[in-house]
Structure 1
Amino acid sequence: MKILGIHADRVWYKITKKTKMAEPEPVPEDEMTDCVLLFCCVEKSDEISPEATVTATVESILVRLGRLKAKRVMLFPYAHLASDLGCPGISQWILRSIQTRLAEDGIDTKRAAFGWYKEFEIKSKGHPMADFSMSICPFAGGVCEGECCPKKQEHQEAACHS
């Protein structure tokens, strides 16, 4: 899982056009203030163990939120962070599960529409820790530092069957 995060004063989006993998009945427009925007991209290797991906991602997000003293998150599906995209169905399940688990941990969480082009605005807080990236490796049990673990490399050829 790849994540680009921005600690923001405000995030707003509006869906503009459906893609072939668009989720049905999305929230057409939404916003959140005083939050962390997380551009998220599920990778093929995350499909090997979706539950482990969710667990490792939630743990890593909670650590980051603790550092920022933030309690609000906007999950924003963003396929442009990786070239080895996960299957749409599994990717949606992973993102919905992350949303649910964060909410269970007391984080006010919203999720932007999956598979839709979106117009969006971000007003970053602009402090030294406001922008960050994370590469979550479910095989390492958390954030990868540089090279991914050998187990991930072994599973890199996971095929999309949906």
Structure 2
Amino acid sequence: MFIQMGADNSLIEGWKGRYLLKVLELHVDYIEYRPVQKEAAVAEKAETIPTRIEDALVMLTSVEPGDDEKIAEAAVADAVEFMRRMKVPRLVIYPFAHLSKELAKPEHALNVLKAMESTALSMGVEVHRSPFGWNKALAVSVKGHPLAERSRAFNQSTIQAAKQPTIEKKYAILALDGRLLDPERVYDMAVDEGFKLLVEKEALGKTAPEVDEPAHNKVFKRLGIDWEELSDSGHMHFGPEGALVYDLISDYASQIVRELGFPVYFVKGTNMFSLESKPIREHASL
């Protein structure tokens, strides 16, 4: 391949963008592997005994020549977000050359995999990295839910596309008489401690005091209210008792706003979307 490099390295970046860090993610009941035979000069030290890890997200990873630490960080951040949404307790990084025909040199691939491991550790994740440079006997049991298998790919272009513009946030307290108050005024208001804690955490950026388990969690569990594991982050499901409470709170909120003295209009959106729309299609494929 002939590559002409400009003084600003623009073509070098274009060359990098051609390659992808390719990952097949599997949410598994267990993964078990055993190093059998070294296949690379940079093979890491490993015992030839079985290793079994249960209830994990496995990242089968192929590293290509243009991949670097930034791409490794993006791949792990994406995986960790998924783990937290799905309540997966641990991560396994597994070298897997079979996702690409253009592999990075072994030394470079190992550095990228180590960067993935370091990123996961820095994010507070329990992480296991399978030894590099070995033929291994492998057994996995993949969970059966719709998001248990995901194909992912990352490069410089995808990282840039994922960056969002910085949005300046401003907070205010809406008083019952319609005035907008500075959040700092919360200390002068006759409100309960729960409201003060809410304003401190959301508007003033203060850290909430640690508790063993928030009291509302116990109430949610009793009412059958929990995160919906088969949806994206933020969606919940409600048992019969929880659904009743939700409807009663909704009715009460509607009653309150109707009594505020100004016109209030209610709107409702759809929960069904067309996959012909590119943003919807891309979001659905996550």
Q: Which residue of 2 aligns with 1:25?
A: 45
With 34-43 and 135-144 compared, the bigger mean Cα shift is at: 135-144
Structure with more strand by fraction: 1
CA contact (8 A) 1:137 1:143 kept: no
Q: TM-score, normalised to structure 1's length?
A: 0.80
Q: Which of the two has higher C-alpha Rg?
A: 2
Q: Which residue of 1 aligns with 2:106?
A: 88
Aligned partners of 1:9, 1:143: CA distance in 2, in Å? 33
Q: TM-score, normalised to structure 2's length?
A: 0.47
Structure with more helix by fraction: 2
- Gapped runs of 5+ residues in structure 2? 1-20, 163-277, 279-286
Counterpart secondary structure, 2:34: strand
Matched, 1:4 2:24: yes
Aligned partners of 1:131, 1:59: CA distance in 2, in Å? 17
CA RMSD of aligned residues (A): 2.0
Q: State the Cα distance separating 1:143 from its structure 2 match.
A: 8.4
Call closer, same or farther: CA 1:84–1:142 in 2, change over 3 Å: farther
CA contact (8 A) 1:27 1:112 kept: no
Matched, 1:42 2:63: yes
Call closer, same or farther: CA 1:54–1:39 in 2, change over 3 Å: same
More relative contact order, 1 or 2 (CA 8 Å, 6+ apart): 1
Q: Deviations over 1:17-70 (max 9, x none)?
A: 111344231253312111011100111121xxx122222212222222233221
Aligned partners of 1:142, 1:98: CA distance in 2, in Å? 19
Matched, 1:13 2:21: no
- Gapped runs of 5+ residues in structure 1? 146-162
Q: State the Cα distance separating 1:2 from its structure 2 match.
A: 0.3
Aligned partners of 1:110, 1:136: CA distance in 2, in Å? 21
Q: Which residue of 2 aligns with 1:133?
A: 151
Aligned partners of 1:55, 1:20: CA distance in 2, in Å? 25
Q: After the TM superposition, which parts of structure 1 deviate over 6 Å for at least 4 consecutive aligned residues?
A: 142-145
Matched, 1:106 2:106: no
Aligned partners of 1:22, 1:118: CA distance in 2, in Å? 15
CA contact (8 A) 1:99 1:109 kept: yes
Aligned partners of 1:106, 1:117: CA distance in 2, in Å? 30
Matched, 1:74 2:92: yes
